[in-house]
Amino acid sequence: MVSIHFENVSKSFDKTQAISNLSFKADKSQKIVFLGTSGSGKTTGLRLINKLITLDSGDIYINGTSIKNIDPVSHRRKIGYVIQKGGLFPHKTVEENILTIPKLVGMDEKIARERLTQLLKLIKLENSYLDKMPAQLSGGEQQRVGIARALISQANLILMDEPFGALDPITADSVLRDFLAIQDELKFTAVIVTHNIMEAIKVSDLIILLHKGKLQQKGSAKDLLFNPSNDFVRSFFNSNRFELELEAIILSDLKPYISQEVISDLGEELSVRECMNKGLHREQLLKATEEYKANYNN
């Protein structure tokens, strides 16, 4: 697990203060989400981590080491980067796209190919896809290839800028679920930029909520929903709040308020929203959810 520490980070472009004095520590979180409205500084925060842009002031530490004096090119090769639509090279095949970085860093070809086979399984693409060009793939497939490309060099830090943003909701959900399964297996740390609140709740261990370049709150989705630190945070989640709350609470959270029978029926890891969609034990789930919320800050 990679630790990331922002210490009083500021960055401006001309007169725009894109990031203002941002500090947070993510020691134990594997999936960190930069969430916020348009222009809040999310992408700037991400691009500062891999030195695509440079800090004005403050510092960023990765595993305790300042990034300031690290060579940007070798730094970037150790970090996976996924952007909207995968950001694939249009004139290279899927295989050439995925194997670009291993070739650049001189990774043993046999090892790279073994890993390619493993990753293809994880992203659920057949071997026959290797010879295709990006334009021959659907948006979801391109995004899966983008994820494989970011993971091939065994990077333990992956930066993702709106990785599911260009996809229709059903495809986005399917790529997101597969991403979560891959992350669970490979255990890399991911920093993910999104403006989609539901997506942030599904994917995050830690949310960094930004507005106009300033940190509004850092914490779990549940902290932000049930213990907001200011009016901005409260109102940010207000549209669709009920659905968001049901997504943030997982069944194991409800253990003190619900019978073991319901938990055994549905499984501990499902969100209450997913349980409700199954149509089982609705009343018990709703009652337990209300009790959980009422007791959250106790």
Contacting positions for ligand ATP (CB under 6 A): 13, 16, 18, 36, 38-44, 195
- Closer residue to ligand ATP in complex, CB, 17/220: 17
Q: Min. distance of Cβ 211 from ligand ATP in angstroms?
A: 9
Q: How far is the CB of 72 from ligand ATP (least distance, A)?
A: 16
Nearer to ligand ATP, 46 or 288 (CB): 46
Residue-by-residue DSSP string for 189-221: EEEEEES-HHHHHHH-SEEEEEETTEEEEEE-H
Quote the least distance from Cβ 274 to ligand ATP, whole Å: 28
Angle between helices 282-295 and 241-248 (to 10 degrees): 90
Given the complex with ligand ATP, which of 39 and 139 has the nearer CB atom? 39
Write down the least CB distance from residue 102 to ligand ATP, Å. Answer: 30
- 29-38 in b/e burial notation, b at 16+ Cβ within 10 A? bbbbbbbbee
Nearest approach, Cβ of residue 14 and ligand ATP (Å): 6
d(CA 234, CA 225): 7
Q: Work out how close the CB of 209 gets to ligand ATP at its nearest, in angstroms, rounded to a whole number.
A: 11
The CB-of-239 to ligand ATP minimum distance in angstroms stands at: 17
Residue nearer to ligand ATP on the CB measure, 43 or 153: 43
For ligand ATP, the closer of residues 8 and 16 by Cβ is: 16
Q: Which two tokens stand for residue 97?
A: 């796209």
With CA atoms as reference, report the closest residue to 109 among 119, 96, 99. 99
Task: Return the ∠ at Cα 192 (arms to 191 and 194), rounded to 5°.
Answer: 155
> Which phi-psi region, left, alpha or beta, contains residue 205 (left: φ > 0; alpha: ψ -120 to 50)?
alpha
Instruction: State the pairing for strand pair 31-36/79-82.
Output: unpaired
18 or 254: whose CB is closer to ligand ATP? 18
Q: Which is nearer to ligand ATP, 39 or 178 (CB)?
A: 39
